[in-house]
Amino acid sequence: MKTIILLSSVCLFAFSAVAQIGVAAERPNIVIFLADDLGYCDLSGFGSPAVQTPNLDRLSDEGLRFSNFYAGSAVCSPTRASVLTGRYPLRFGITKHFNDRDGWLPESATTIAELLKGAGYNTAHVGKWHLGGLHVDDDGVRRTDQPGPRQHGFDTYQTQIEQQPLRGRMGRERTLFRQGGTVLMRDDQKISPDAPYYSKHLTDANGDFALELIDKLSADGQPFFLNLWWLVPHKPYEPAPEPHWSATQADGITDDQHRFRSMIAHMDSKVGEILTKLDELGIADNTLVLFTSDNGAAFEGNIGELKGGKTDLHDGGIRVPMFVRWPAAISPGKSDAFGHSNDLLPTICDAAGIKLPADLPIDGLSLLPHMKGGPPPSDEIRGDVFWQLDLYKGLQRHYPKPKPYATEVVKRGKWKLLAKSGQAVELFDIESDPNELNNVMKEHPELVASMSAQLRKWLREDRVTQ
């Protein structure tokens, strides 16, 4: 009898192991591409006449394209916190971009990398970080006075050293890309001058290391999360290597416009190499690949007819491209449903089969049911959506910043209220007026009062800064 029980136990164990393997095999690999200062119309698939982006267009065409997606801020660090945590940046006291000196995402924040790692994913970050913790000592070793990528759940990472006055100098000299390899940090240590990546252009260094990681991680037997945050097309505008420089030459454009276009073409090419790698390894079908931008366009970028731009809370500063491809689960198509960078964490955890802890506060909603063909979250379920950004009086465009200035936004369905220090300054119906030209505050005083009250309540809520 004991023998029979033992054999039954062995069979049960074997069946359980097979079942677990089956479940693991269904979990997708996850790749997030985050561009930097890419405007709503900077990709040819989103209407850009300036530069062709065939690889990103392919990704968009093979996936679900969102035309009404918003970044968590009009500058980078706050949105990056939103992407990683699914929470409003203000929850962590992040109210502007970090200065590479004394700002960081609190170590207590729960990130998407930590949640995926806890569920058995291998996690890697490549590229720009801008959430603190990337200072080094004289020996090139990462200082530990601020949390960095590993403290936020990434098993491995490659970034640039994000430290002043280094980055400021390379920005002014316009060498941050062309000499980007000379200031790379990998897993808490600056790379040495004899390392093969030391001489690489930054965009190549990011793309090539991502390719290495995909090769390595795909052979591990566990799903992987690759968080690839390009610096492109953020300033300094630098000429991309050939063939991208020659391919983007055009009559009647400035040198900066040419540099800008070549940078986007270079990024697009590296995305193409990564998509090809997924195909070659036979893992593209069960890899969720998502692309978006951290905020709207800066100087040379294209926001179409939208108002504002980087550093401004009108839609030109916060409405961004977004598309997601997961052939095993998501059919190609287009969606005009509202989405927000806070939604990425719950969406990806949903795709990975991760049930979020009941005590984990999240401001976003999973878009996965909608991505799979269901309806998007209703306005009633979503509720009011908020933005906060300290006042930048300068607009990073070739024209003045729109007035009146605003430091907050509350969005309720089709209504968008802009405020300064909690006091309403503009109200737009962005369904009928997507370019925010007709301020209708006077016509809707009760709506303004209600939205303003909710905004002020949100501004008073507790923040976590440690």
Q: Where residue 323 sits, what CATH number does that domain have?
A: 3.40.720.10
Pick the last residue of a domain from 379, 394, 417.
Answer: 379
* Residues whose CB falls within 8 Å of the CB of residue 387, separated by 6 or more in sequence, listed in order: 72, 73, 74, 88, 313, 318, 408, 409
Pick the last residue of a domain from 379, 413, 440.
Answer: 379
The string over 253-274, giving b where at least 16 C-beta atoms fall within 10 Å of a residue's C-beta and e elsewhere, is eeeebbbbbbbbbbbbbbbbeb
pLDDT tens column, 445-463: 999 999 999 999 999 999 9
Pick the last residue of a domain from 379, 412, 432.
Answer: 379
Which residue out of 41, 97, 125, 130 is catalytically annotated?
130
Number of structural domains the chain divides into:
2
Whole-prediction pTM? 0.93
pLDDT higher than 50, residue 260: yes
CB pairs under 8 A, 24+ apart, for 415-418? 415/444, 415/447, 415/451, 417/448, 417/451, 417/452, 417/455, 418/313, 418/314
Same domain, 367 and 408: no
The answer to whether position 20 is within a domain reads no
State which H helix or E strand residue 293 sits in. Answer: strand 287-293
Same domain, 358 and 427: no
The answer to whether position 384 is within a domain reads no
pLDDT higher than 50, residue 256: yes
The answer to whether position 19 is within a domain reads no
Residue 236, Cβ neighbours under 10 Å: how many? 17
Same domain, 295 and 416: no
The answer to whether position 263 is within a domain reads yes
Residue 254 · residue 61 · CB < 8 Å: no
Same domain, 181 and 282: yes
CATH code of the domain covering residue 454: 3.30.1120.10
| Residue 90 CA from chain centroid, whole number | 17
SS3 content of the chain, % helix, strand, coil (to 5): 35, 20, 50
Same domain, 277 and 416: no
Same domain, 318 and 414: no
What are the residues facing 392 on neighbouring strands?
A: none
Same domain, 54 and 202: yes
What are the residues facing 339 on neighbouring strands?
A: 69
* Residues whose CB falls within 8 Å of the CB of residue 123, separated by 6 or more in sequence, listed in order: 113, 116, 117, 153, 154, 155, 156, 224, 225, 227
- Asked about 201 being catalytic, the answer comes back as no
- Asked about 130 being catalytic, the answer comes back as yes
Which residue out of 41, 76, 97, 349 is catalytically annotated?
76
pLDDT tens column, 71-108: 999 999 999 999 999 999 999 999 999 999 999 999 99
* Residue whose pair of structure tokens reads 């980078």 in the numeric block: 76
Find the Cα–Cα–Cα–Cα dihedral 227, 231, 233, 238, rounded to 10°: -150
Same domain, 312 and 451: no
Query: What is the structure's pLDDT at 2?
Result: 31
Share of the chain above pLDDT 70, in %: 95
* Crossing angle of the two packed helices 202-218 and 255-280, in degrees rounded to 10: 10
Query: What is the structure's pLDDT at 24?
Result: 36
Structural domain range at position 169: 29-379
